[in-house]
A and B are shown apart, each in its own frame.
Chain A
């Protein structure tokens, strides 16, 4: 039994279930919501309405009165993203959301053989455990890459159709592909981690729980430590979720031009991401750490996953 045949059989099974189609529908809905909202997002333009600060400050009695007197909102509103090029940081930042779809893909592709017990049919008649593990890794990795590329290019297409493509600066495509490369690596690391948890626990519920903890607990601890002592801020360089956000910052030159839009967008995503989000471009050292760490999760997760699965009891 080759890895190719195992993958082919899995595709046959997946296409006969509803789960993959439901997941893809949710992905498209989330994309549509994100892209639609960001395209509709407007910014209010305020102008100074008064030149004499001193007099306004003396005469006004409340803060509201000061603001109302000093500033005047322009009647016309401007879109935050005037073109697909301007929207690119936001499009790339959507990778943050994809880790949950990767988890869903891992659960859909690999969990049923454990939950149904069907795994024993193959193993008992000579199916190589290493090949089985690698086949799931390859299938989920391909789906991970496809989901990410679909997210980026579908969003870019929609933004281009609605607002036009815009004028990319010289380094635009280089930066885009650098971010895509970095994100792909991190997403594959997440995939490897999710698969490892699944093969160790053999339960979808436990995998989901541990994966959520893996994403939330370390950043939270790092955040507390960083608040306590500034030096601990560096810990975020060794954490996958932070690395994902940092990779988006490779787009920083454009972000600067667009008035640090990424910062605003990142806050829009909410939560820890906003606090930890890459507000400055990654240094070469950070990029190297990010690549090494992601590669470690991919190779190490798969290696130890296979090692433990080879000795595991099949119920």
Chain B
């Protein structure tokens, strides 16, 4: 079953296509790695899928839905951490998650504690979000994404700000969630880490999809393959 499919997805800012006719297909059970340099268009693509920004062209199909209203409902089956996690600064971790629990109409009050324990933030007490480190913010973002028991998760640079132990914990968590049946779209700069968890990849360069496939089909390691693919794309651009 296809979870997310984009067809000719395009975003134009000031006459320049930052995402240019991108076709992606993520199937149920995938951990899909979106790879690219800074400014390649990864985050913009994720922002279009999550409706944080409008699309300039093409289409998005999510859980088989394409109509705007159906798409919006389908997004309720997702959990997302796009860019730096943002929460109400004067509330604690528990209060922030409680706010979203009420908003989403989740009756189970224990889910807040469970989500915080899963990401290792169970003991932050009354500490306000404004006093959190980047790593803690990242974990809280993940806790929120997990809270609604999503079927599909979008994680934009989930290891940003995490220490080495946190990075390994994040890797394990992604694997565990995937084993539970959660499909994932993950972007990361740390390709060695990404290679441990993803089964499919797509490389974006200057808004264009230049390579996509199964991670098992790559000869050698992901980092070398990525560098070679980018170099090849650059040399094609100069021709």
Contact = CB atoms under 8 A, between A and B. Distances in A.
Interface of A: 1-2, 5-6, 8-9, 12-13, 16-18, 112, 116-118, 120-128, 311, 313-314
B76 A125 contact: yes
A9 B102 contact: yes
A5 B88 CA distance: 18
Given A16-B90, A116-B89, A124 B105 contact: no
Nearest to A315: B52
Given A12-B99, A12-B102, 14 more contacts: A2-B105, A5-B102, A9-B99, A116-B87, A116-B89, A118-B87, A120-B52, A121-B87, A122-B100, A124-B154, A126-B73, A126-B74, A128-B72, A311-B54
Nearest to B91: A16
A235 to B, nearest CB: 39
B204 to A, nearest CB: 20
Find the residue from B76, B84, B98, B99 having the highest chain A CB count within 10 A: B99
Interface string B100-126: 101111000000000000000000000
Given A125-B148, A126-B75, A8 B90 contact: no
B65 to A, nearest CB: 11
6 contacts: A8-B102, A116-B86, A116-B87, A121-B100, A123-B51, A314-B53
B21 interface: no
B95 interface: yes
Given A1-B105, A8-B102, A120-B86, A125 B80 contact: yes
Interface in B57-99: 72-80, 82-84, 86-91, 95-96, 98-99
B6 interface: no
A184 B51 CA distance: 36
Contact of A313 (B53, B76, B77, B105): B53
B19 to A, nearest CB: 14
A120 B78 CA distance: 13
A118 B100 CA distance: 10
B28 interface: no
Nearest to B84: A117
